[in-house]
Amino acid sequence: MATIAPSILSADFGRLGDEVRAVTAAGADWIHVDVMDGHFVPPITIGPLVVEALRKATPLPLDVHLMVEEPGHLIPEFVKAGADRVTIHVEACRDVAGVLRQVRASGAKPGLALNPPTPLERVRQFLADADLLLVMTVNPGWGGQPIVDGWQEKIAAARRMRDDAGARCMIEVDGGIKPHNAGAALAAGAEVLVAGSAVFGSSDYAATIRALRA
């Protein structure tokens, strides 16, 4: 069964609590929270204060995706605010294994993300330390971008690499996922689908989440 994680990046930030309650009622499994620092990616989004507010708006796991350069010092604050999962970028840390272990020691589930141009080889050695492998299928920074070419092959290769390594991390796909390509993402081996504009840009969140699952 697919795990559906709506990304609040495309929600109405003026009514964020209502938006999160609405996708919770509409059948979402996790809430995906995109944190951007203005360095690793050009935009700035939100920090622990907003995660703390989201924590009160939903019982669902908060899947926090840190698009942040050297995020180590911020991790305790995000976990304290209520992050269940904290995913860091392999391109953003000098000591990837150390930061993954720091996430676990703080009490959250560590995830590792990689950008479309980054080869899977870069993450292989860290699979045992991660509970989630987030494969970006757009260049990070913005919602609503078209999915990159070759994305299905990368998901399939990530799934093979995970299975061959006997690792347990879930495979999450993030970027450009819509009802029309969700089935292909699952067939390629993804287990968690992040969808921002597809969900929050639709008029019926429950119908869109059902369509992503089907």
- Nearest distance from residue 196's CB to ligand DX5, in Å? 3
32 binds ligand DX5 (CB under 6 A): yes
CB atoms within 10 A of CB 203: 6
Residue 33, H or E segment: strand 31-36
Stretch that binds ligand DX5, among 83-91, 99-107, 117-125, 139-147 (CB under 6 A): 139-147
Q: Closest distance between ligand DX5 and the C-beta of residue 199, in Å? A: 8
Q: What is d(CA 155, CA 214) in angstroms, rounded to the nearest whole number?
A: 18
Give the bridge partners for 37, in sequence order: 44
Answer for which of 46, 64, 114, 194 binds ligand DX5 (CB under 6 A) is 194
Q: Which of residues 37-96 bind ligand DX5 (CB under 6 A)?
A: 65
d(CA 30, CA 6): 7
Q: Among 157, 155, 160, which Cα is nearest to 173's?
A: 155
What positions carry a catalytic annotation? 34, 174
* Binding of Zn ion by 174 (CB under 5 A): yes
Backbone angles phi, psi at 3, to 5 degrees: -95, 125
* Non-local CB neighbours of 153 within 8 Å, separated by 6+ positions: 188
Please report whether residue 176 would count as binding ligand DX5 according to CB under 6 A.
yes
And the tokens for 108? 């959250």
- Residue 186 binding ligand DX5, by CB under 6 A: no
Q: How far is the CB of 153 from Zn ion (least distance, A)?
A: 21
Residue 116 binds ligand DX5 (CB under 6 A):
no
Among 92, 177, 190, 193, binds ligand DX5 (CB under 6 A): 177
- 181 contacts ligand DX5 (rule: CB under 6 A): no
- Residue 131's φ and ψ, nearest 5 degrees, are -95, -10
CB of 194 to Zn ion, least distance (A): 5
| Cβ count within 10 A of residue 59 | 6
Question: Using the rule CB under 6 A, is 7 a contact of ligand DX5?
Answer: yes
Q: How far apart are CA 56 and CA 34, in angstroms?
A: 18
Residue 34 sits in the site that holds Zn ion (CB under 5 A): yes
Applying CB under 6 A, which residues contact ligand DX5?
7, 9-10, 32, 34, 65, 138, 140-141, 143-145, 174-177, 194-198
Applying CB under 5 A, which residues contact Zn ion?
34, 65, 174
